[in-house]
Amino acid sequence: MPGGEERILRRRISSVQSTKKITRAMELIAATRVVKAQQRAHAARPYATRMTSVIEDLAAAGAATEHALLRQSDEIRKVGYVIITSDRGLAGPYNSSVIRAAEREIMAGTREGRDYSLILVGRKGRDYFKFRNYRIDASFEGMSDTPRYDDARRLSTEVSGRFTSGDVDQVILVYMEFISLGSQRVAVRRFLPLATIEEIAALGGGSAEARAAFEFEPSPAGVLEVLLPRYVESRLFSALLDAAASEHANRQRAMKAATDNAEELIVKLTRMMNRARQDAITTEIMEIVGGAEALRNAG
């Protein structure tokens, strides 16, 4: 007959065991998701590369650099922050580190007398800023796990709209950059106004001399007009894809740690349980021996 303490420990062990099964499953799911997210990010790269290449062509042709998305403000009064977090938790420090970096940035801006405008992706970020009574101008959900291009487009419409209408003078993008499976870091980037097209072209690395003289239809400016909004979309899309890969990598790591901890806990609890059982047995033997001793003395 197991003692009270032993029974309690047995129950705890089985509870930890089922938790471990869950975290283990989540770890495995996250692991496959990271791979998928990485593949998607990889598949999306040719489009971005081509886009940059067309911008190089335009720069070489000396296209007019007058465009609403390139507008540099002399004075920055209001900054838009696009903050990419996840919808679901259990991803270790993923959300908190992005949110912390973003909040620090907002604070720094406010100290310099700049107003802020929040455009949030992911439920976690929304919850955080809502709880702290920040003014949220737009929030998006359901796109952080597996972002589609349509999601990037919706986000882009919101962001570009605020910028081109003059509501905000600058847009800063905060998300977690995916460097490798083992390393992700929070990136805080100026997103809008875009760098001048010459600067974007320089990113592509192609030298201007190698570029032939292009014909443009309808005209260099006309192409630029159509191209820049798509360039913004594609940049946001790649940030979303990066963030998704980072989210899954972080979740995998967090769940691996949880599984390891559960294993450790099970070993410890099992040891405690065994000791408790042994104690109970020893006590029982002592009682029997004591009882027998007393009977013999009596007889």
Partner 1 sequence: MPLEVELVSPEEVVLTATASMVVVRTTDGDIAFQPGHVPFVGVLLPERVRIYGDEGEDGDTQLIAVHSGFVEVAHDKVAILSDVAELAGDIDVDRANSAAERARATLADDPDDEEAAAALKRAEVRLAVAAGTAI
Question: C-beta of 228: minimal distance to partner 1 in Å?
Answer: 12
State how beta strands 183-192 and 170-180 pair. antiparallel
Task: Rank residues 38 and 259 by Cβ distance to partner 1 and give the closer one.
Answer: 38
Q: Are 34 and 184 in contact (CB under 8 A)?
A: no
Question: C-beta of 113: minimal distance to partner 1 in Å?
Answer: 38
DSSP states of 6-25 as a string? HHHHHHHHHHHHHHHHHHHH
Q: Which amino acid is at 63?
A: A
Distance in angstroms (rounded) separating the CA atoms of residues 176 and 185:
5
Q: Which amino acid is at 54?
A: V
Q: Are 84 and 152 in contact (CB under 8 A)?
A: no
Question: C-beta of 181: minimal distance to partner 1 in Å?
Answer: 22
Task: Using CB under 8 A, list all residues that contact partner 1.
Answer: 40, 43-44, 46-47, 50-51, 53-54, 57-58, 148-149, 152-153, 211-218, 222-223, 226-227, 230, 233-234, 237
Containing 268, the helix (H) or strand (E) segment is helix 220-298
Task: Rank residues 58 and 119 by Cβ distance to partner 1 and give the closer one.
Answer: 58
Question: C-beta of 186: minimal distance to partner 1 in Å?
Answer: 25
Task: Rank residues 44 and 101 by Cβ distance to partner 1 and give the closer one.
Answer: 44
Q: Exposure of 287 by Cβ count < 10 A (0-12 exposed, 13-18 middle, 19+ buried)?
A: exposed
Task: Rank residues 134 and 149 by Cβ distance to partner 1 and give the closer one.
Answer: 149
Task: Rank residues 6 and 151 by Cβ distance to partner 1 and give the closer one.
Answer: 151
For CA atoms 282, 283, 288, 291, give the dihedral sign: positive
Task: Rank residues 228 and 273 by Cβ distance to partner 1 and give the closer one.
Answer: 228
Task: Rank residues 37 and 258 by Cβ distance to partner 1 and give the closer one.
Answer: 37
Question: C-beta of 60: minimal distance to partner 1 in Å?
Answer: 10
> Alpha carbon of 59 to those of 67, 191, 198: distances in Å?
14, 20, 6
Task: Rank residues 10 and 211 by Cβ distance to partner 1 and give the closer one.
Answer: 211
Question: C-beta of 248: minimal distance to partner 1 in Å?
Answer: 18
Distance in angstroms (rounded) separating the CA atoms of residues 166 and 293:
96
DSSP states of 52-115 as a string? HHHHHHHHHTT-----GGGPPPSS--EEEEEEE--SS--STTHHHHHHHHHHHHHHHHHHTT-E
Question: C-beta of 237: minimal distance to partner 1 in Å?
Answer: 6
Question: C-beta of 233: minimal distance to partner 1 in Å?
Answer: 7
Which one-letter DSSP state was computed for residue 227? H
